[in-house]
Amino acid sequence: MIDRAPQETIPTGSVSESLRRLTQFSREIGEITDIRAVAERVLSGLSETAQGRQGSFYLSAHEHTNFRRLAAQGSDHTASAPPTLAADHPLVRQLTQHRQILDRSAAPHAALDGPLQPLDGLCASIAIPLINRGRLIAFVLLRSDPASGEPDPAHREFLTAMAQSAANVLDSLLIFEDLHQSQTLMRRTDRLRSLETIAGGFAHEIRNPLTSIKTFIQLAPDRKDDDEFMRDFSQVVLDDVYRIERLIQEILDYARYMEPKLTEEDVNEIVSSCLYFIDVKARHRAITIEKELAAELPRVMLDRQQIKQVLLNLFLNSMDAIGESCGMLRVRTNRIMKPEGDVWVQIEVEDTGCGIPADNLERVFDPFFTTKHGSEESEGTGLGLAIAHQIVRDHRGDIHVQSVEGAGTTFLIHLPAIV
């Protein structure tokens, strides 16, 4: 919230001066990328022009069911301006229908129960709508000094122009935010989907250590004086408990959505952790896993959970491609040098599955491209590789595929190393 001193009257001045101010205002808000900061700047700009002393900025929220106060100016304004206003509040309805500035000072003697009444109810003297594509996306409420008198009509024009410019900037920021949210949702859905695929393996994996713990508890009362038994078995049990703990932690870390966080990581360790996820499933399906991890691999700045998501997608695709026959999944890591001399880490995921027909090779990274049209359960979304591609690009890396139909497929991921 901003607390500003009462403003001096700012004359609109000549047309060129107005244009200059409008351009400067538009440029300023256009450079801000944070919605709240835009709200604060728009509020202060409009308030300066309208000689408002106190005010609030409201933005459409929750699928347009209400408007939320995003910025306020003047500490006592918040008392009369509530944190949210419903979409069917009389003031919001007025602004939505008429899409024009409501100004009490332009009609100081208008009927108290007339169209300006909602303004009075909120102790405001002016409401400025921000309209984009015919929709009210935000509005500003201001209370100006009663002594400031009749408004200059040029001010109204100027305020409308400022509000339009602000609406354009906000609209593009809101679209960007929506896009970001749907991408996040897509990634999360994809992540949970791969988790669902490997969950069966986890249940199985936990069952073995649980059996050994149960056995120990059953035998312990009779064997409590057998020191060797107690010492050896309790070590086994402890290892099993650690194993269960690690599995649970892996699942939790993977399933939980976290803001992307880049940390310095050992790619070999991430590869091993992902192979650990699919190990049981692979054993059940007679798929041999070969792991060739380069010694002294340089470290990489990456988001651990996202890169895990990429690798799991590739591993699960390979297992699908191998199907019910036996086959091999080989994962290699290497340090490579690009022609420009930069050091990269390469992850190679090779399988002996059905391969990809040449016609499909260019399309496998397209969103929703899938050849998996089985039952509802085994239906592919075609998002796995699209998301993998996006994540690798976000890491300033690249991902490629080579395949021979009927023989197998290799995916290569390159990530810039820390040197």
Ligand X SMILES: Nc1ncnc2c1ncn2[C@@H]1O[C@H](COP(=O)(O)OP(=O)(O)OP(=O)(O)O)[C@@H](O)[C@H]1O
Binding residues vs Mg ion (CB under 5 A): 317, 384
Residue nearer to ligand X on the CB measure, 158 or 277:
277
Among residues 29, 321, 415, 417, which is the contact residue for ligand X, using CB under 6 A? 321
CA angle 335–336–337, rounded 5-degree value: 135
Can residue 400 be called a binding residue for ligand X (CB under 6 A)? no
Least spacing, CB of residue 351 vs Mg ion, in Å: 13
Restricted to residues 182-211, the positions that interact with ligand X (CB under 6 A) are 193
Can residue 347 be called a binding residue for ligand X (CB under 6 A)? no
C-alpha separations of 270 from 93, 211, 258, 265 in Å: 55, 28, 17, 8
Least spacing, CB of residue 206 vs ligand X, in Å: 24
Among residues 18, 44, 318, 333, which is the contact residue for ligand X, using CB under 6 A? 318
With beta carbons less than 8 A apart as the criterion, state whether 312 and 190 touch. Answer: no
Residue nearer to ligand X on the CB measure, 170 or 354:
354
Q: How is residue 318 written in tokens? A: 């390979």
With beta carbons less than 8 A apart as the criterion, state whether 310 and 392 touch. Answer: yes
What are the backbone angles phi and psi of residue 61, rounded to the nearest 5°? -140, 170
Kindly give the interhelix angle for 267-284 and 227-255, rounded to the nearest 10 degrees: 100
Can residue 356 be called a binding residue for ligand X (CB under 6 A)? yes
With beta carbons less than 8 A apart as the criterion, state whether 66 and 87 touch. Answer: yes
321 binds, among ligand X, Mg ion, none (CB under 5 to 8 A by kind): ligand X
353 binds, among Mg ion, ligand X, none (CB under 5 to 8 A by kind): ligand X
Judged by CB under 6 A, the number of residues near ligand X is 23
Least spacing, CB of residue 96 vs ligand X, in Å: 41
Least spacing, CB of residue 219 vs Mg ion, in Å: 45
Residue nearer to Mg ion on the CB measure, 230 or 412:
412
Which residue pairs from 239-246 have beta carbons closer than 8 angstroms and sit at least 24 positions apart in sequence? 240/208, 240/209, 240/210, 240/212, 240/213, 241/209, 241/213, 243/209, 244/206, 244/209, 244/210
141 binds, among ligand X, Mg ion, none (CB under 5 to 8 A by kind): none
Q: How is residue 54 written in tokens? A: 């106190």
Residue nearer to Mg ion on the CB measure, 74 or 384:
384
Our measurement of the distance from residue 307's CA atom to the centroid of its chain's CA atoms, rounded to an integer in Å, reads: 16
Least spacing, CB of residue 127 vs Mg ion, in Å: 51
Among residues 82, 381, 398, 412, which is the contact residue for ligand X, using CB under 6 A? 381
Can residue 413 be called a binding residue for ligand X (CB under 6 A)? no
Least spacing, CB of residue 409 vs Mg ion, in Å: 12
In angstroms, the CA 138 to CA 70 distance is 10
- 247: which residues sit within 8 A by CB, 6+ positions away? 202, 205, 206
**Could you tell me which stretch among 39-47, 115-123, 270-278, 374-382 binds ligand X (CB under 6 A)?**
374-382
The DSSP symbol for 218 reads H
What are the backbone angles phi and psi of residue 100, rounded to the nearest 5°? -135, 160
Can residue 369 be called a binding residue for ligand X (CB under 6 A)? yes
Least spacing, CB of residue 396 vs ligand X, in Å: 21
Can residue 364 be called a binding residue for ligand X (CB under 6 A)? yes
Our measurement of the distance from residue 406's CA atom to the centroid of its chain's CA atoms, rounded to an integer in Å, reads: 38
C-alpha separations of 182 from 89, 176, 179, 193 in Å: 30, 10, 5, 16
> What is the DSSP secondary-structure string of 113-179?
TSTTHHHHHTT-SEEEEEEETTEEEEEEEEEE-GGG-SPPHHHHHHHHHHHHHHHHHHHHHHHHHHH
Can residue 380 be called a binding residue for ligand X (CB under 6 A)? yes
Can residue 351 be called a binding residue for ligand X (CB under 6 A)? yes
**Could you tell me which stretch among 153-161, 285-293, 335-343, 348-356 binds ligand X (CB under 6 A)?**
348-356
Residue nearer to Mg ion on the CB measure, 137 or 391:
391
Q: Which residues bind ligand X (CB under 6 A)?
A: 193, 313, 317-318, 321, 351, 353-356, 364, 369-372, 380-386, 409
